Structure 1
Amino acid sequence: MTTPDPLHRALHAPGPRPLPDEAAHLLRTIDAPPRLAAHLRLVHDVAYELVEWLEQRYPALQLDREAVLFGAATHDVGKAVHVSELSVPGSAHEEVGRELLLVHGTAPELARFAATHASWTLPDIGLEDLLVSVADKIWKNKRVPELEDLVVRRLAEASGRTVWEEFMDLDDALTAVGEGAQERLAFQSAHTV
């Protein structure tokens, strides 16, 4: 009996939701590090939870669900090139990730998430971009007030409710998601760089 290779395990081990087929195929094509695949599954899984929460609370909200999920599933793909950034902070992977996605046939409007996930203060940043950024933080229970405030303002504009009401609800949702951070960190650590 043969054991699956480490990348296959990272993509298919029980735990977080599987990545969209297109994202999983790309990771296999570029022979991504298993830890990167595990991380992308985790952020994608959290983004899925956030999108579900938003769709239940704000049925009229204009939101490209598939873009958020694809963005979360590929946001750090540039770390397949800049592998050291899987262990230490860095931003070299961002533009490289966007370019890598474009080279592999990803539409520019989806490839952008690789470059925008750490740049939430850019002008005209979309709600989808903000949600990918939030998912990339809250998966490990990291709270970024400036980022969350941008999401709260968008939700208040869409709902007509006060910023404070939206803040309280989003805070509750993010706190609930953050409670699973230890399990998610353990899942990621179980996969090699």
Structure 2
Amino acid sequence: MNRVVSPEAAREILVALGAPRRLMTHGRLVLEAADELLRAMRTLGVDVDERLVRAGAMLHDAGKILHPNELTNPGKNHEEAGEAMLLAQDVDPVVARCCVTHAQWASFDCSLEELLVALADALWKGIRRDPIERRVVDEVARRLRGDAWESFVVLDECFERIAEAGPERLERSVRADADA
């Protein structure tokens, strides 16, 4: 039976698979950003699968266990490798798919949950990406059957708040690497 995992269970999966400290830290920092996005969804009254978003935030880069050079260098090999590895661990395919969609969201018909994982992966380090932000705003407005501008006002403030904390999160990431 496939399972959508909690962030704690996701952490245990990563540890069992031999994830390096840097990857564990990255997952936690992306989860922090995802939690902020989820608070905004609750504020707006948007129903999302929070467990999926939180698990996806922790596990989206799991494939870097198999491709450790991509922890510090660009690369896409970890995406499909991560999905396959998580599927072999009986992780719900929807969560495992976040390994691919976090980077290739523009090429897929993604759920709002997948988009939130991808957005958290950018915002955690202070990077604003208009195309994905716009896609999230549009999907939220569609779900609320409202005006995109109304959703934008709330979400833009959230996106900016997360991005402003990016340098501090990056510093924590660097410190965690140095302490290893």
Q: TM-score, normalised by structure 1?
A: 0.84
- What is the letter of the counterpart of residue 40 of structure 1? G
Q: CA deviation digits over 1:115-171, x for unaligned, max 9?
A: 111111234210000000000000011111111110111111122332223223211
5+ residue gaps, structure 1: 1-18
- What is the letter of the counterpart of residue 17 of structure 2? I
Aligned to 1:103: 88
Q: CA deviation digits over 1:90-139, x for unaligned, max 9?
A: 11110000011111121212211111111112342100000000000000
Q: CA deviation digits over 1:40-63, x for unaligned, max 9?
A: 0000111011112211221xx231
Aligned to 2:63: 78
Distance 1:187 1:99 in 2: 30
Distance 1:94 1:156 in 2: 29
Distance 2:173 2:22 in 1: 6
Alignment of 1:111-122 (within 5 A): 111-122=96-107
Runs of 4+ in 1 over 4 A off after TM superposition: none
SS of 1:105 mapped into structure 2: coil
Q: CA deviation digits over 1:6-64, x for unaligned, max 9?
A: xxxxxxxxxxxxx7221111121122111110000000111011112211221xx2311
- What is the letter of the counterpart of residue 44 of structure 1? L
Aligned to 2:145: 160
The percent identity for this pair of structures is: 37
Structure number with bigger Rg: 1
- What is the letter of the counterpart of residue 87 of structure 1? T
- Does 1:90 find its partner at 2:75? yes
User: Paired residues, what number?
Assistant: 173
Q: CA deviation digits over 1:153-190, x for unaligned, max 9?
A: 11111223322232232111111111211111011112
Distance 1:37 1:164 in 2: 36
Alignment of 1:125-144 (within 5 A): 125-144=110-129
5+ residue gaps, structure 2: 1-5
Q: TM-score, normalised by structure 2?
A: 0.90
Q: Residues 62, 108 of structure 1: CA spacing in aligned structure 2 closer, same or farther, 3 A cutoff? A: same
- What is the letter of the counterpart of residue 35 of structure 2? Y
